[in-house]
Amino acid sequence: MRPVIVAANWKMHSTPGDAAELATTIAARTREPDVVRVICPPYVCLAAVAAAMAGEDVAVGAQNVHHELAGPYTGEVSAPMLVGLATWVIVGHSERRRDASETDELIGRKLGRAADAGLRPILCVGEHLDERDGGRAEAVVGHQLRIALRALEPVALLAAGLVVAYEPVWAIGTGRNAQGSDAAAMADAVRETLVAIGWGADAATVPVLYGGSVTSANIGEFLAEPAIDGALVGGASQKPDEMAGIVARAGVTARARLAEAAAS
């Protein structure tokens, strides 16, 4: 059975002075033993959050990683540098694609570095509004996956615990909302693409998260879909009340799936 995961992407918010307290508050408000919880603060807050989460069942993730192990890359952070500070990492977020012009090929190199370092990667994929309205949403996401994964061995990414996060870029901060059925159809398309590129039955074990303006008010619609295994939370991820509601709903889904698995 795939795990139910809630990952908090704090983006460029918080400082080392307040991150530990915020993480501690969120951890205390979201204690759901059947939900995998991950907090991804800015690089400068990783040590503070990791120390604060030492007694909690909450993983710490980085928001990005460089595609090289070392070198003349001012301001960048490599996978070996993250070891000991984080156990997860977000790769290919739509904001990185937009602001840093990250290509699918580059994102694939980052995935490889993350897996080699023992970091669990969350690979973000998603289409823009014109691509969805043009009927090309699934083709666009399939292409992103094919290029990012083509140089990587499925066994290595499976061992690393690859997670895919579907980010419909057109539904992030635009006022236009994705439906649970949209996300479920894309999750199915993600796994179908994995099968097509040689992952076989293992494709069904890959968790797919929803990452389009997730809130406590809309998370239920997405978690009601069996193909969706949790959320990558952005704007709501620094709000303890919102995170409490999101993780509580994720806990309901996780327990229902566990009961169904036990019954079968």
| Per-residue pLDDT tens listing for the chain (264 residues) | 899 999 999 999 999 999 999 999 999 999 999 999 999 999 999 999 999 999 999 999 999 999 999 999 999 999 999 999 999 999 999 999 999 999 999 999 999 999 999 999 999 999 999 999 999 999 999 999 999 999 999 999 999 999 999 999 998 877 788 999 999 999 999 999 999 999 999 999 999 999 988 999 999 999 999 999 999 999 999 999 999 999 999 999 999 999 999 998
pLDDT at 176: 80
The active-site residue out of 102, 138, 167, 225 is 167
Domain that holds residue 204: 4-236+245-263
The active-site residue out of 66, 93, 102, 242 is 93
In the chain, the number of structural domains is 1
93: annotated active-site residue? yes
Amino acid identity, position 101 = S
CA distance 65 to 90: 8
CA distance 94 to 103: 11
CATH of the domain at 192: 3.20.20.70
pLDDT at 86: 98
Give the global pTM. Answer: 0.97
Measuring CA to CA, which residue among 51, 35, 23 is closest to residue 252?
A: 35
pLDDT at 139: 98
66: annotated active-site residue? no
pLDDT at 257: 96
Q: Are 162 and 114 contacting, i.e. CB atoms less than 8 angstroms apart?
A: no
157 phi and psi, to 5 degrees? -75, -35
Residue with tokens 């193909």: 227
pLDDT at 264: 86
> Which segments of 72-227 are extended strands (E)?
88-91, 120-125, 163-166, 208-210
